[in-house]
Amino acid sequence: MPTYQSTDGTTLAYEDYGTGDPILFVAGWSLNSEMWEYQLHYFLDRGYRCVLPDRRGHGRSERPSTGYDVDTRADDLARLVEHLDLRDFTLVAHSAGGAEAVRYLARHGQDRAVRLALLAPAIPYLCQTPDNPVGAPLELLEASLHQLRTDRPQWFADRAQGYFATHLRPGTSRAVMDLEMSRCLSASPYASVEVQRQLFTSDHRPDVEALTLPTLLLHGWADQSIPIEISSRQAVLLAPHAVLKEYPDAGHGLYITHAAEVNAEILAFMKE
């Protein structure tokens, strides 16, 4: 598996398939490049190049004790873009990866990317503050972090059904849910805690307001991980060139449960 060096010397892994117009896929919190398996084959079959990194502490990348702040993770993305000399690429990101994507564009410019597609992104600001009353209370984060530290497997088990909104779309098999939860558990426990803390407390409102790229937001009404009301419905009001597609029966795992619809939406967006 190919690797590259980040700014602090951390060795980071990635996968690179195809030879067409590039798509850079950024995984969600605690997940790795394998989460995109239903997108990978779809876009390869249509002639695109797919680049899929594993963030630090996740997948096959190194597990350093530092660098889990969103700025460093955005810089990790920038180093990969430079390492592969990616240009005119589409940036596709899920959850915490969406926060990394918009911070990458804010810190390193928007001249190399041509469009941005965000699935249930952790933007613009999830934490409730006096100037962000729609956010979630900080106490929810502290309770979540406490359970992650004391019983991480149970934390994921408790949320599996809601992650896929199986009460609304019951077709997701137990095997698929178990596989995705095992991918989540493969991340470094330390990285899992630190990245979740960052995704909840990082303010991306200036990043979103500064976007000049065409931006597609895809989000489910039943998302229990990052509720649409505090994220995509706020982001679409801030991003100058954003459109929001809502899925009434989708949870946070819409890249699996709604893969056909999501893939078609992204492909149509890329062809506009």
What span, in angstroms and rounded, lies between the C-alpha atoms of 153 and 234? Answer: 32
The β-bridge relationship of strands 242-247 and 3-5 is: unpaired
Active site residues: 95, 223, 252
| Burial bucket for residue 44 (CB in 10 Å: 0-12, 13-18, 19+) | middle
Mark 70-104 as b/e (b = at least 16 C-beta within 10 Å).
bebbbbbbbbbbeebebeebbbbbbbbbbbbbbbb
The secondary structure of the chain as a DSSP string is --EEE-TTS-EEEEEEE-SSSEEEEE--TT--GGGGHHHHHHHHTTT-EEEEEPPTTSTTS---SS--SHHHHHHHHHHHHHHHT--SEEEEEETHHHHHHHHHHHHH-SSSEEEEEEES---S--B-BTTBTTSB-HHHHHHHHHHHHH-HHHHHHHHHHHHTTTTT-TT--HHHHHHHHHHHHTS-HHHHHHHHHHHHH---HHHHHT--S-EEEEEETT-SSS-GGGTHHHHHHHSTTEEEEEETT--TTHHHHTHHHHHHHHHHHHH-
